Amino acid sequence: MKSMHVSLAHDAETLSPIHAAICDSSDLEREVILGGQAVDGVETITSFVTGEARAYEPALEGLDGVHEYDVTPADDGFFLYLRRDLEAEGLSMLTALAQETVVVVPPIEIRADRTIRLTIVGHPTDLTTVLEELSAGVTADVLWVSDSVTVTDSPVSDRQLEALEVARNVGFYEIPRRNGIEAVATELDCAVSTASELIRRGEAAVVGRTLDTQL
């Protein structure tokens, strides 16, 4: 049994309206699908969206086939419960994934760069078939393959990662420190308090992941 982590890049025709909203809005960073199912063409999911619900909900309200949804605010974003009719692209993805031995391992990350990242587990031949049966307009990039059943996800959000990279570039982590949090905020074009929170949350996530894997 093998595990495979893939990034699926979508062109304009295969990008769903909700995914397009995440890509186009500066108030949305990513959506992480935590679990879900599809029954008789209706998809039911629960996810966490990093960003503002006010920027996400218009995409739902303008979408045909939404049965119901519920938003619960949280730190850095909101939890979403959504039931909607599967679109053609969603049905095509399900068909590609419907191989005898293949299991999708949550979370599934919907990113602002027009990609979806997910881990699938199964027999090597069936994993290869998944890639071969993706619809036109979807390009697969295999990020890693493992001979064991495993999963990985990013410990930090895209915005937190950007803040950490900016902090390093401006000398925030140098000893002695070359620039302070104000320089980071200037580069990110945000308030000092926002830059500080992004860095603190990013650092906490990275440290936590490092300790979890080393201890």
The candidate with the shortest Cα–Cα distance to 209, out of 128, 154, 157, 129, is: 154
- For residues 17 and 47, the answer to whether their CB atoms sit within 8 Å is no
The total of structural domains in the chain comes to 2
Q: Is the pLDDT of residue 153 over 90?
A: no
Greatest CA separation found in the chain? 61
Range of the domain at 173: 158-214
Q: Residues 45-81: pLDDT tens digits? A: 999 999 999 999 999 998 889 999 999 998 889 999 9
One domain for residues 51 and 106: yes
85 shares a domain with 33: yes
Does any domain span residue 205? Answer: yes
* 174 found inside a domain: yes
Is residue 43 included in any domain, yes or no? yes
User: Does residue 133 lie within any of the structural domains?
Assistant: no
Q: What is the mean pLDDT of the chain?
A: 88
pLDDT at 90 over 80: no
Digit-coded pLDDT (tens) for 163-189: 999 999 999 999 999 999 999 999 999
The reply to whether 123 falls in a domain is: no
Task: Please tell me whether residues 26 and 81 are part of one structural domain.
Answer: yes
Residue 96 lies in a domain: yes
Q: How much is the pTM?
A: 0.69
Are both 166 and 111 inside the same structural domain? Answer: no
Final residue belonging to a domain, choices 50, 84, 115: 115
